[in-house]
Structure 1
Amino acid sequence: MQVHAIRSEADYRAMLARVSKLIDLDPAPDTPEGEALEVLGTLVQAYEARRWPINAPDPIEAIKFYMEQTGLTVADMVPYIGPRNRVYDVLGGKRPLTMPMIRRLLSLGIPAQALVGAPEPAMT
Structure 2
Amino acid sequence: MNIRLIKTKRDYERALARLETLFDAKKNTDNGDELEVLSLLIEKYEDDHFPIDLPDPVEAIKFRMEQLGLTQTDLADIIGHKSRASELLNKKRKLSLEMIRQLHKNWNIPTEVLIRAY
TM-score by length of 2: 0.86
1:8-43 superposed Cα distances (whole Å, 9 cap, x missing partner):
22211110111111113x222x32222211111100
| TM superposition shift of 1:93 | 1.5
SS of equivalent to 2:53: coil
What amino acid is aligned across from residue 108 of structure 2 in structure 1? G
The aligned runs of 1:14-33 (5 Å cut-off) are: 14-24=14-24, 26-28=25-27, 30-33=28-31
| Residue of structure 2 in register with 1:96 after alignment | 94
- Show structure 2 runs of 5+ residues with no match: none
In the alignment, structure 1 residue 80 sits paired with structure 2 residue 82:
no
Aligned residues with identical type, % of pairs:
43
Aligned length in residues: 116
Residue of structure 2 in register with 1:122 after alignment? none
CA offset digits 1:72-120 (Å, max 9, x no partner): 22111112111111111211222211121111112122233332338xx
TM-score, length-scaled by structure 1: 0.82
CA distance in 2, matches of 1:38, 1:52: 20
Whole-Å separation in 2 of the counterparts to 1:34 and 1:116: 41
Where does residue 108 of structure 2 map in the other structure?
109
What is the CA RMSD across the aligned residues, in angstroms? Answer: 1.7
List, as ranges, runs of 4+ consecutive aligned residues in structure 1 with deviation greater than 4 Å: none
